[in-house]
Amino acid sequence: MSSTKLFCPITVGDVKLSHRVVMAPLTRFRADANHVASRLMLQYYTQRAAVPGTLLIAEATYISPAHCGGQIEGYPLYSSSPVSMDASSPGPEEMIDSAIWSCPGDSRTAAQNAIRAGFDGVEMHGVDEYFVGRFSQDTVNQRTDSRGCSVDNRSRFALKVVKAVTNAIGSNKVGMRLSPWSTFQGMKMRTDVAERQFRTLSATEGIEFALDIWQDQGPVFVAGGYDGARARSAVDGEHQDRDTLIVFGRYFLSSPDLVYRLQHGIEPNEYDCSTF
């Protein structure tokens, strides 16, 4: 295993890593009722950081009380457009300008709080039903104003958030996660697009077009059902000319010592999605 680039050191932003295996953001709902991290979460992340120099991307968190049910009861839910996740979900209302432009400020404050709390950086979640994804993906964004229709217009919200966060904590501490082909929660891009204005790009499945656009702007995190063999093939073969890191999700859930297992050729535990 020592001959593979998968276990060669790499620097991501300001952080020096001992290998290129990354833990994906995996929402586990283990915070307390006030959305504060619990002792169980401490144990969970400690187990998966057993190999020094491992990058763990923590699960998503709210940037504002308004995004976790903290608004006045009876106020409507807002989104880029009045498009529901599915037929059983309540329909949101289209956001007005004042509500839209409060989000970059909330993102900036949340990022600053994360750095003060000791995180090495932040990754903005531009996938699924999160706000960045709901503005950038043409499946959901059906606006006809300056924040809809074209690629440039749909990207304005994401770029505004990126600018606010990078100006606050520095681009070396900021990444963006994209998944244009995911159909989870009713999402999926119809067109091939990607933007760049941050230090790292994290992409899942069918992302060659994004890598071509990104070129060599910084490290690339790739995800999408990797196992040990495919991970080694990716960094040593198809992505050998890039600073590529491989993101694992489900195997990190079933095998907290995943990095050690990959290093020593030990098969990870099989995962059971029904228990997630």
Over residues 72-94, the pLDDT tens digits come to 555 667 766 667 666 666 677 77
Report the chain's mean pLDDT, rounded to a whole number.
81
- Determine contact, residues 199/175, Cβ cutoff 8 Å: yes
How many C-beta neighbours within 10 Å does residue 4 have? 17
Gap between the Cα atoms of 165 and 17, Å rounded: 23
pLDDT score at 19: 98
Q: Judge whether residue 158 has pLDDT over 60.
A: yes
- Determine contact, residues 222/204, Cβ cutoff 8 Å: yes
Average pLDDT rounded to a whole number, residues 99-112: 88
Confidence of residue 197 (pLDDT cuts 50, 70, 90): very low
Greater confidence, 275 or 9? Answer: 9
CA distances (Å), origin 231, targets 34, 123, 256: 38, 22, 17
For residue 139, the 8-state DSSP code is T
Of 3-7, 143-147, 209-213, which gets the smallest average pLDDT?
A: 209-213
- Is residue 250 in some structural domain? yes
Most confident of 164-178, 223-237, 250-264: 250-264
pLDDT score at 237: 93
Q: Judge whether residue 100 has pLDDT over 90.
A: no
For residue 50, what is the domain's CATH number?
3.20.20.70
pLDDT score at 252: 97
- Is residue 83 in some structural domain? yes
- Determine contact, residues 16/253, Cβ cutoff 8 Å: no
- Determine contact, residues 11/20, Cβ cutoff 8 Å: no
pLDDT score at 202: 54
pLDDT score at 211: 62
Average pLDDT rounded to a whole number, residues 44-60: 96
Domain of residue 158: give its range.
Answer: 17-67+77-275
pLDDT score at 201: 52
- Is residue 2 in some structural domain? no
Surface-to-core class of residue 201, CB atoms within 10 Å of its CB (0-12 exposed, 13-18 middle, 19+ buried): buried
Total structural domains within the chain: 1
CA distances (Å), origin 75, targets 61, 78, 81, 89: 22, 9, 16, 16
Gap between the Cα atoms of 80 and 93, Å rounded: 8
130 flagged as catalytic: yes
- Is residue 4 in some structural domain? no
Residue 20 tokens read as: 């290129």
Q: Judge whether residue 188 has pLDDT over 70.
A: no
- Select which of 45, 130, 226, 260 is catalytic: 130
- Is residue 10 in some structural domain? no
- Is residue 222 in some structural domain? yes
- Is residue 11 in some structural domain? no
pLDDT (tens digit, 9 = 90+) per residue, 203-248? 554 455 556 656 667 788 888 889 999 999 999 998 888 889 999 9
- Is residue 12 in some structural domain? no
Q: Judge whether residue 194 has pLDDT over 50.
A: no
How many C-beta neighbours within 10 Å does residue 216 have? 10
Most confident of 32-36, 152-156, 225-229: 225-229
